[in-house]
Structure 1
Amino acid sequence: MKKLPIIVLISLAFIVGIGTNIFINSSGELQITETESKSAMDLPFMIENGGKVTINDIEFKEMLIINFWASWCEPCKKEIPELNSFNASLDKDNNTRLIGVAIDDMDEVISFMKEIPISYSNLTDEKNGFLLSRHFGNDKGVLPFTVVVDKNYQILHKFYGEITEKDLLNVVK
């Protein structure tokens, strides 16, 4: 008789896991399934004008640098001037493109950008930003987190924590 409630709980957990495409692996860490991984580039994000875009909508030819950040993150605030400077040094033919992904609320991001301007494209969504960050290997949930991917979205470099313009220049050269 006691086995029935356990079987029901396990079945329910399995059904919920399938619905969300997120499971907890044997180490107790969240893990995104292959289905979620394939659609990670299609997760919708808000942009400042109220529209929505996906990572697949971002145009670039060789490398895309994605910086995950939040308005409440102190190291994120420190690195934004470095990222602005790096962005200014990029060629304008979109060989390499820098974007930010705010794991935050759009109102918080807009308010933040009045205090600390950001010169590169910025996408915002708390849940989808977290999922995309995990997809690119941020299994620690660290912010800031920066990933450099090629045109097939294969990871070339990952940076946990604050980065500098010099760090990024070393990657793109």
Structure 2
Amino acid sequence: MQFKKRLGLYISALLVVLLVGIVFKNVFIKEATVNPIVENEDGTKQLVFDAKLTRLDESSTTFKEYNGKVLIVNFWASWCGPCQEEAPELKDFYNNKSENVELLAINATSKDSSENAMKFQESYNLNFPIFLDLDGTLQKSFEILAYPTTFIFDSKGILKYTIKGSINQKELNKYIEKLY
């Protein structure tokens, strides 16, 4: 009986230490996160190139890797019907785009899963960069309300177009042409 009490006490103490450690980490050791979109004085929205992106393999990069290009940022989820319809169109667009244009797909991982994102990529044989939004930070910053939602930034990172709902290759090309 004495052994069970001690064991229970040790387990309780261990849990308390663990919880205190988690609270300490969350309060005092916050990872610096950069909001990926800021509003300029003239009211335009600007992409912050230092904002972190997490690849499918969970390695990280930033938008800086794509600085100087027209940037198409597409938010999607594997369970989203319109996203499934849009995937072949995005693949065709990516395969035919010019070098000064980049397409980035960001999975709504906080409402989906990285496993489903990988399966989606494989099933549609997608070859453009796909990123994970593990904690929903990017979705909040971009104010995503529905999937898919696509943002088109000029080569300086100024937001030019927001498209809510699916888009096809022809429409994307029309938006890109307007930037030149």
Q: TM tier, shorter chain?
A: 0.5 to 0.7
Which residue, out of 54, 59, 65, partners 1:51?
A: 59
For the aligned residue pairs, the C-alpha RMSD in angstroms reads: 2.3
Amino acid at match of 2:106: V
The C-alpha deviation readout for 1:134-172, integer Å capped at 9, x for no partner, is 2xxx4xx11100010123321111100011111101011
Q: CA deviation at 1:133?
A: 2.3
Q: Does 2:81 match 1:74?
A: yes
Greater mean alpha carbon deviation, residues 158-167 or residues 38-47: 38-47
Structure 2 letter corresponding to 1:77 = Q
Matches of residues 22-171 of structure 1 in structure 2 within 5 Å?
A: 36=35, 37-38=37-38, 41-56=49-64, 58-91=65-98, 93=99, 95-104=100-109, 105-126=113-134, 127-134=136-143, 138=144, 141-171=145-175
What secondary structure is seen at the aligned counterpart in 2 of 1:142? Answer: coil
Please say if residues 67 and 156 of structure 2, whose CA atoms lie closer than 8 Å, have aligned partners that are also in contact. no
Is the 1:106–1:125 Cα contact (8 Å) retained in structure 2? no
The amino acid of 1:155's aligned partner reads: L
CA pair 62-50 structure 1, distance change in 2 beyond 3 A: closer
State the TM-score, normalized to the length of structure 1. Answer: 0.67
Hey, what's the Cα distance between the residues in 2 that align with 1:71 and 1:40?
27
- TM-score, normalised via structure 2 length: 0.65
- Return closer, same or farther for 1:123/1:161 CA change in 2, 3 Å cut-off: same
Q: Which whole-Å deviations, capped at 9, do the CAs of 1:37-80 have from their partners, x for residues lacking one?
A: 45965443321233112223x32434100011011111001001
- Following the alignment from structure 1 to structure 2, what is the Cα–Cα distance between the partners of residues 60 and 42? 10
- Between the two proteins, the alignment pairs up a number of residues equal to 132
Greater Cα radius of gyration, structure 1 or 2: 2
Counterpart code for 1:73: C
Residue ranges of structure 1 left out of the alignment (5+ in a row)? 1-18, 20-34
Aligned in 2, Cα 1:162/1:156: closer, same or farther, shift over 3 Å? same
TM-aligned CA distance change 1:106 to 1:41, over 3 Å: farther
What stretches of structure 2 of length at least 5 have no aligned partner? 1-26, 28-33, 39-46
8 Å contact from structure 1 (residues 68, 129) kept in 2: no
